[in-house]
Amino acid sequence: MAGLTIQSPQWQFDPAGPSAQLEKPVNVLLPPVTFADGQAATQDQLQKIGAFVYRTKAGVEELWDETQQAWTPPVTDLATLATMTPIPLAFKDGQPQPWQGVLVAAGQKDKAGAPRFAKAVNGQPVYRVRALAQFKRNGALAEAVSAPSAALTFLSATEKQRFAITLDTETAADCTVARLQLKNSSLQPAAYIELRASGPELEIVNCDGGGQPRARVVLTAAGDIELHPLAGRRVIVDGDLEINHLYFIPHNGSVKEEL
């Protein structure tokens, strides 16, 4: 069986930077594949070519299995990978990396309904791809698997926006928490309104320069309205205040009294 020379795949995404946006497609590019004598493999000699996605999470590497729709223990041997389904690569004539495919991360889920790809937290998960190529020339099959690509991490585009609405799930159809948030110039939370289906509750918060909550207003599930000023600050009412009943704790007291 003749051999092939196949280089590591490359990532391409927009905007360029250390991480790709989770919401945008990522291109997988592969330089020309060559036979042992240096001749470039051509599209009419193609038997199979594609890229397999690996992720490292909590120090453990896994392989995406398209058939099982799950992350599985990693394999790199040619015989096993040849039986699996990769990201397909198509030939683009005239390109320096002529074999090209697309990885779409947004909205992809595994068979359990969990997101297939995730933004990095403390540098993980990390994604890499290996390419597999099979070409036939003069009746002889030549095949090879590449070394892994450079590592890729994802970030969410909403993290770079000053104003955004975020959900606790991938889609609005099943979310239980929704947050309307404004960030300061350092991209730290400046203020937010959070709606929680449990209860339900609504919370309004402003934050300090580091994004930590200051004053809070909470509409509770029980129907109470809670006012939480920052420690040492006041609740100021500029106008008439009408109260049916007033309960208070006297200065240096511990028992609540009614006025």
Residues 28 and 101 in one domain: yes
Residues 94 and 33 in one domain: yes
Average pLDDT, stretch 195-218? Answer: 94
Q: Given this model, what pLDDT does residue 252 score?
A: 73
Tell me: pLDDT of 80 over 80.
Answer: yes
Domain boundary among 155, 172, 207: 155
Q: Given this model, what pLDDT does residue 188 score?
A: 87
Residues 148 and 176 in one domain: no
Residues 145 and 35 in one domain: yes
Q: How far apart are CA 160 and CA 155, in angstroms?
A: 9
Residues 187 and 121 in one domain: no
Domain count within the chain: 2
Distances (CA, A) of 81 to 74, 75, 96, 144, 146: 10, 7, 26, 10, 12
Q: How far apart are CA 169 and CA 106, in angstroms?
A: 12
Residues 192 and 246 in one domain: yes
Average pLDDT, stretch 226-255? Answer: 87
Average pLDDT, stretch 149-160? Answer: 87
Q: Tokens 């599209």: give the residue.
A: 43
Beta-carbon count within 10 A of 119 CB: 18
For 203-212, give one letter per residue: b (16+ CB within 10 A) or e.
bebebeeeee
Nearest-5° Cα angle at 126, 75 to 11: 90
Residues 76 and 90 in one domain: yes
Residues 139 and 16 in one domain: yes
Domain boundary among 155, 178, 195: 155
Reported as a single tens digit per residue, the pLDDT across 98-138 is 999 999 999 899 999 899 999 998 899 999 999 999 999 99
Domain boundary among 139, 155, 171: 155
Q: Does the pTM exceed 0.75?
A: no
Q: Given this model, what pLDDT does residue 46 score?
A: 97
The whole domain housing 102 covers: 2-155
Q: Given this model, what pLDDT does residue 232 score?
A: 92
